[in-house]
Homo-oligomer: A and B are copies of this chain.
Amino acid sequence: MEKINAIAALSALGQETRLDVFRMLMRAGPGGVAAGDLAERLGVRSNTLSTHLAVLVRAGLIASEREGRTILYRADFDGTRALIGFLVGDCCADRPELCAPFITGLSGALPAKAGS
């Protein structure tokens, strides 16, 4: 991931409504959620949400697909992984030994309720 893409992704997530959208879509899984449902669940006007969704799409964090009259939004897992990879990898490029704790300690960040 290029720096400019990382900036787009980070600033996209650095806004409450957009972070809420992203987390909701991550939780919703590959099935995605319609724009209208997102607006209702989050209590945001549809036009406002639409601009936020466009920002997230441009940032490569979510993707959209028309489903009849509605438009489904789903999290873009590749884009998300690329962002995390940028944070973990590129930011420590010259000192991989400093990044080891990030990875080894990461399992602790997971709820780990899915046995093993």
Contacts and interface: CB of A to CB of B under 8 A. Distances in A.
Nearest to A12: B14
* Size class of the A contact interface (CB-based, 8 Å): 35 or more
A114 B96 CA distance: 7
Number of copies: 2
A106 B84 contact: yes
A22 B10 CA distance: 13
A69 interface: no
Nearest to A112: B96
A43 interface: no
Contacts of A86: 109
A90 B14 contact: no
Given A13-B10, A84-B88, A91-B26, A96 B77 contact: no
Interface string A4-39: 001111111111100100110011010000000000
5 contacts: A7-B16, A26-B91, A81-B102, A84-B106, A89-B110
